[in-house]
Structure 1
Amino acid sequence: MSRNARAVKRPSLAQFFDAPDAYLGHFGWLCGYSADAAFLNDALERFTGQTQARRAAGGRIALAMILDPGNPLITTVDVPGLVHLPMLGDIPRPFRLLHAKVALLGFRHQDDASRWRVRLIVSTGNWTRQTLEESLDLVWSIDADSDMLAERDDDVKTACADVRAAWRMIERIVPHFDTRLFTAIGGALPGESAHADRQLRHWIAQCEQAAGRARPRFVDNWDKPLLTQLPVLAERATGGAACNRLAMGSGFFESTPADAGGAPPALLKIIAELQRTGRITANCKIDVFVNPDACQAVATSVAALEEHGVTVRHAHAPEAVFGTVASERRKLHAKFLFAANERANSNACTSAWLYLGSGNLTKPGLLSSANARGGNLEAGVVFAVADLQWKAQRGVPPEQVVGNVLPLQHSDCVETDKALTAGADMPERPDECVAAPVAWLTWCDADAAGPTRLQSPEPMGALPHVDVLDPAGAPCGRLADAFAWPGDRPRQVEVRWNDANGPGRATVPVLDEFGRVAATPVTALDVDEIWWQLANFPMAPDDDVPDRFGEGFDPTVTAGQAPATADGRTYPIRQMMELVENIAQRQTAIDEADWHAWCSRLEQTLARAAESAGVTAFVELRLNPLSPLRAAPFRPAFAEAGDSAAGARYEAALSAIEHAWAVDALPALGSME
């Protein structure tokens, strides 16, 4: 058998972003301590079903991310489809560190917009490649969907209560971060992304209503320390039985105390609270699992802990899960408390419950509520664990063995401090991701109003000490309402400023005329190519269809192709009329929930055909080929007239396309003028 053979298949943290069958990733929120582009590109490709290049071309935001401000900015160019929201620098911070690692993801059915699914992910690991490849971490997830809500049984209500609790935590974080990209009102904005965000919030609201008075398993420390809440949650999960086994694990412990050799106070307080509340017995067998190369105060307190009935053990990376080679390099990062009963005549873990989350077994992690003086913002989940077995035996599935579920082993223990290393403490990080005076800039082509420029959403008079830097790092010239830009549209720019807090510098995205965020340049389309960009809606255009995004495009094969007669003549007018007919047939079947996104897709796609032979033919005929699309029979009932929001949005999209094609002033098709 291969040294990397695995008997137990468990999804990685990134795989929890996979869309369910027949569903599409729509929009999500994520918070955490740290993240990197490698992990996020993997997660977003799984979530959206789109490659990095396809997401960059679309310019649509699918995931809003809030991290501790000590994490450097991850730009939308680094991870297309992601917006990393910076922290506001002018309001008090309500926590020492943003340490909670939580994601709420919204999926919509690809054929029925009324069907949706919301997924809650709670992780002990950061959103990084290191978590996937080097760490021993844990993750918990639950789904709530529209099909479940009609059942309203206890499990459904509890799942909805978990979603409600997690969303309320995120809602309290959001006001401390710069969300102007979504909340501002104006012309060129990521409207499709903001619409998807509103849909996710609507789905969560339905979960909140369905939850009723159900109590969640999800827990955070906004108002109370996690430790004061864990006993009640554990009792609720198991019915109140006191457990005679306790396993404790943490990525960090308290710093090495001045009186080295004393037991870490936080560990003793956790044990005392669990005993006081009856969650573990007075003579409970207690194990603390550590990374032997970095366990802080535990490294000098093996004997002191033993005096309190606590055994120190190495964390175990199960070969059944990771394979022999991978398990050798993984180090404990998971934070957990696992309690269960062990009986002499049974292999079953009975009355078992588990806490996993972001909170380390330290004062800032488990013993404090969130506060700027020293309490991190933490989150986790406490739940009953069924069907676990203490040991691998004949007839026991490997996925039920506790050592294959948690990083536990009981074959050896640490007997002396010499076997351990304290390692480094939790690193202090200066704030790196702080909001700039402008959240984005909008590209404007050269026209009668001025040269190519970047327009600010804020009045220029309010930005006297703000510079936009050109590619050479020099300040751009200031115009009445914009910054002059010397060249083609950039995807993002550097902004420099000076305010009461001192000098600052940040990267901000550039939006194009369609509201695409930090997107790659659009390329021209022929009329016969347009339909392939629309046919799969609401899914992204098929990567297998040759277009000019740089994926699957061979100009020697596709350039200039069009239906032709034997003498080589093409039929651009016929192609245009077929396109209009296809659009009309498709859009009359669009669900109202998808209408805003359809209008955005329609506008962005058709505008790319402005130089095509089909458009040129109608300009020469002095006719507007899009005029039939304004007729009521070619529109869904909810958008038949411009006096509704849906109708007004559609007509605005048509007007923008007509202007781009230079047919807006031409007579309607069929006109006698």
Structure 2
Amino acid sequence: MSRTTKKLERVSLAQCFEGPDEVWRGRFGWLCGYSADGDFLNQAAERFTRQTASQRAHGGAIALAAMLDPGNPAISILEAPGVAHLPILDAPARPFALLHAKVALLGFCHRDDPDDWIVRLIVSTGNWTRQTVEESLDLVWCIDVRASELKAPTPETQQRCADIAAAREMLNWLGTLFDRRLLDLRSHAQASETGIAMAQVEEWLDRCTRNPALPPARFVSNRRQSLLAQLPEQLRHAGITRAVNCLAMASGYYESAANPHEIPSVLAQTLAQLKESALLVKHPEVYVFVNPRACQAIAASARALNDAKIQVHGPSTLASIFGDDNVRTLHAKFLFGANFQKNSIFCLDAWVYLGSGNLTQPGFTHAMHRQGGNLEAGVVFAPQGLLWEPHPDHSPYQAIENVLPVQWDTPIELHELQAGGDMPERPDVFQAAPVAWLRWQADADEHGTLVAPHAESSFDILNTCGEPCAQSGDHYSWTDARPRTVSVRWRANDTVFVADVPVVDEFGRVAATPLPALELDEAWWRLANFPLPAGADDAASEEAGVDGALIPRGGPLDRTHGSYAVREMMEFIEQLAERQTAIVQADWSAWCCRLEQTLMLLADSAGVATFRDLDLNPLDALRVPSFRPSYAETDATEAGRIYEAVIASVELKWDVAALSPIGAFA
């Protein structure tokens, strides 16, 4: 391809975490996989939340929860703010050999309408790593369901709901094997922002999946049966009833070399299963796509494959997407079947399996099992309108060579094939610590105490010098400024483990950067911008597009004069009341989180100090029903009780709870 030729645009794996456009913001998402790295997860979180790393670190909420194979080293929340890498609870007892499924389930909310949301399912053949994005040939399958589609769902919408339901069921089960305590923590007044977002996404998923008449899902895992055993039924669900005469099989790894005089067992079983199910003709054209320098049993059995008329090819470089100079290696796992007819340009009766399962026994022909079956997942579907080669009358995205890394013309010479290495063994390196997080309690001298929630076994917290902190019960003395994470050391089964766990502040922020003390005008920006994030810089203020000025009606602000401080506080209370009466009920819990955190930061402001000097409580005005939305006017509703708890906690922080109320004012 010429350097001047326009490349086809394709979404990368990281871009799959973005909402459709800038008005969509990620609320919460789950992902599982064999491996991930901080660089990819940081990119994914930035695209998902539309916040920079510093903004996410400032907010301290968890946006993505990752469940990875325990052989993957721990990914610190400092590397990828807003992402929690959850440890496995009991690695030796896990019911799979490897956690190899690569699945994400994400929830997005419309910035201007909290009742408008999107749930997205991602199924990948590649890991959540920078290598996948930059070096591998991988595939990803992605579907969305939007709230508005559920009002009158079409059969196609119901199919997507069924896929999401199946993936959700697998992820919910998987979540029982991992330590979720960090996601369940609460701030002292109510659920944390993370908990609110999780509950919101769960409600959306409930709405997607509550229909009992959903069709069979295209999403499939091997929890109970191998992927191969389920393939014929999945193809029939996809509408495939005719045997195909062309089959392509591809994998990043193949089984280890066994008998060089026989076709590798997984390939042979796949061919036999499809023929027995009348989904493959007796003498098909069969292509196997490999990495020539690392194709395990394919290299040893090359002559047996040749004798069986199975053609071994290297992958297409997908130059139309990546350019001529890319040197990516095949990592995608897929099967592609279709009927070829000389009088048709179309791939007839086409179907595709793609997923995490390599063409190995643990990956494709075994069900999940601790001794020899990975946890794998994928999708089986029937794409429409695929072409055997590009055609001027059709979109280039219909050509098979532009959607799968296949090329039919150039087989690999047998002497060019190399076995390479097998799937690497790796020990379990990330298991759950006795505590998942520690609560910070500040002292008057800016030092503090780390308070541990209930733990089933003893542990040490290591200070910055690597020595155990002084301990009194569940309190550990910390002689420096509040850390974002601390190292915990414990012993289990005669082995000493060390892991970093996040520190949670009084607002329930996880591993967050320090919050600055605020004055009233700065606090107003944080509240006026809602529901945009309260970022660590002024970007949110510029993006909000609202009139955030807080200037007393009587003239310029002068905090050195008590009367101006009083006027400023009254302006603030009035504007706050006007803002919060417009909050829709779906956003109320999140608003109360923002309100509590912001008002707490005003405790040392000039305005609050002036009211303390006057022995007046300015917050009591916010209890007036007219200053609250109708659904939270009193403590007769849950929304009202949450709000009352926030006001009470802030009164204590401001030291005004016992002072005289100023009441409502004009």
**TM-score, structure 1 normalization:** 0.93
How is 1:424-435 mapped onto 2 (pairs within 5 angstroms)? Answer: 424-435=421-432
Native 8 Å contact 2:249 2:288 kept in 1: yes
User: Is 1:193–2:186 an aligned residue pair?
Assistant: no
Distance 1:300 1:356, change over 3 A: same
CA distance in 2, matches of 1:89, 1:383: 35
CA distance in 1, matches of 2:497, 2:291: 39
Per-residue displacement from partner, 1:227-285 (whole Å, max 9, x unpaired)? 0111111122233111111111001000122x445321111111111111111111110
Return the match for 2:641 from 639, 648, 661: 648
Per-residue displacement from partner, 1:591-620 (whole Å, max 9, x unpaired)? 222211111111111212222222222222
User: Is 1:362–2:363 an aligned residue pair?
Assistant: no
Aligned AA for 2:622? L
Aligned to 2:341: 343
Distance 1:619 1:377, change over 3 A: same
User: Is 1:512–2:505 an aligned residue pair?
Assistant: yes
User: Is 1:453–2:449 an aligned residue pair?
Assistant: yes
CA distance in 1, matches of 2:34, 2:103: 10
Return the match for 2:385 from 382, 387, 392: 387
CA distance in 2, matches of 1:648, 1:138: 48
Aligned AA for 2:513? T
User: Is 1:573–2:573 an aligned residue pair?
Assistant: no
Aligned to 2:437: 440
User: Is 1:131–2:135 an aligned residue pair?
Assistant: no
Mean Cα deviation higher: 643-652 or 147-156 = 643-652
Per-residue displacement from partner, 1:557-597 (whole Å, max 9, x unpaired)? x9x99996499976332222222112111111212222111
Tell me how far 1:309 sits from its aligned partner: 2.5
Aligned to 1:537: 530
Per-residue displacement from partner, 1:296-322 (whole Å, max 9, x unpaired)? 111122211122231000011211111
Tell me how far 1:103 sits from its aligned partner: 0.4
Aligned to 1:613: 606
CA distance in 2, matches of 1:211, 1:107: 24
CA distance in 2, matches of 1:513, 1:94: 38
Aligned to 1:288: 288
CA distance in 1, matches of 2:4, 2:586: 47
Aligned to 2:147: 146
Aligned to 1:376: 374
CA distance in 1, matches of 2:5, 2:385: 24
Distance 1:62 1:501, change over 3 A: farther
CA distance in 2, matches of 1:190, 1:426: 43
Aligned to 2:411: 413
CA distance in 1, matches of 2:46, 2:52: 6
CA distance in 2, matches of 1:536, 1:23: 16
Aligned to 2:270: 270
How is 1:491-502 mapped onto 2 (pairs within 5 angstroms)? Answer: 491-500=484-493, 502=495
Mean Cα deviation higher: 437-446 or 83-92 = 83-92
Aligned AA for 1:455? V
Aligned AA for 2:310? V
Distance 1:522 1:569, change over 3 A: closer
Tell me how far 1:643 sits from its aligned partner: 3.8
Aligned to 1:555: none
Aligned AA for 1:428? E
Tell me how far 1:213 sits from its aligned partner: 3.4
Aligned AA for 2:342? A
Aligned to 1:624: 617
CA distance in 1, matches of 2:489, 2:554: 53
Aligned to 1:208: 209
Return the match for 1:490 from 479, 483, 490: 483
Native 8 Å contact 1:120 1:142 kept in 2: yes
Tell me how far 1:447 sits from its aligned partner: 6.0
Mean Cα deviation higher: 475-484 or 4-13 = 4-13
How is 1:97-112 mapped onto 2 (pairs within 5 angstroms)? Answer: 97-112=98-113
CA distance in 2, matches of 1:73, 1:331: 26
Tell me how far 1:500 sits from its aligned partner: 3.3
Return the match for 1:596 from 589, 598, 602: 589
User: Is 1:256–2:252 an aligned residue pair?
Assistant: no
Aligned to 2:182: 181
Aligned AA for 1:153? T
Distance 1:211 1:243, change over 3 A: farther
Distance 1:142 1:565, change over 3 A: closer
CA distance in 1, matches of 2:418, 2:57: 45
Aligned to 1:310: 310
Distance 1:562 1:333, change over 3 A: farther
Distance 1:523 1:186, change over 3 A: closer
Aligned AA for 2:438? L
Distance 1:566 1:356, change over 3 A: closer
Paired residue secondary structure (1:238): coil
Mean Cα deviation higher: 223-232 or 477-486 = 477-486
Question: Cα RMSD between the aligned structures?
Answer: 2.6
Native 8 Å contact 2:187 2:506 kept in 1: no
Tell me how far 1:121 sits from its aligned partner: 0.3
Identity %: 48
CA distance in 2, matches of 1:331, 1:390: 23
User: Is 1:523–2:516 an aligned residue pair?
Assistant: yes
Aligned AA for 1:366? F
Aligned to 2:32: 31
Distance 1:4 1:313, change over 3 A: farther
CA distance in 1, matches of 2:664, 2:575: 22
Mean Cα deviation higher: 430-439 or 176-185 = 176-185
| Unmatched tracts of structure 1, length 5 or more | 553-557
Tell me how far 1:189 sits from its aligned partner: 8.3
Native 8 Å contact 2:123 2:379 kept in 1: yes
Aligned AA for 1:11? V
Tell me how far 1:199 sits from its aligned partner: 1.5
User: Is 1:172–2:173 an aligned residue pair?
Assistant: yes
Tell me how far 1:96 sits from its aligned partner: 0.5
Tell me how far 1:546 sits from its aligned partner: 7.1
Per-residue displacement from partner, 1:133-174 (whole Å, max 9, x unpaired)? 000000001111211112222101111000000000011111
Tell me how far 1:543 sits from its aligned partner: 7.0
Distance 1:399 1:565, change over 3 A: closer
Aligned AA for 2:232? P
**TM-score, structure 2 normalization:** 0.94
Per-residue displacement from partner, 1:33-75 (whole Å, max 9, x unpaired)? 1011111111111111111000000001111110001101112
CA distance in 2, matches of 1:396, 1:582: 57
CA distance in 1, matches of 2:264, 2:52: 47
CA distance in 2, matches of 1:585, 1:240: 62
Paired residue secondary structure (1:244): strand
Per-residue displacement from partner, 1:344-378 (whole Å, max 9, x unpaired)? 11111011000000000110011011110110000
CA distance in 2, matches of 1:184, 1:301: 55
CA distance in 2, matches of 1:85, 1:542: 25
CA distance in 2, matches of 1:50, 1:273: 48
Tell me how far 1:413 sits from its aligned partner: 0.2
Distance 1:668 1:615, change over 3 A: same
Mean Cα deviation higher: 343-352 or 206-215 = 206-215
Native 8 Å contact 2:91 2:428 kept in 1: no
Native 8 Å contact 2:165 2:209 kept in 1: yes
Mean Cα deviation higher: 118-127 or 206-215 = 206-215
| Unmatched tracts of structure 2, length 5 or more | 544-548
Distance 1:223 1:264, change over 3 A: same
Native 8 Å contact 1:235 1:241 kept in 2: no
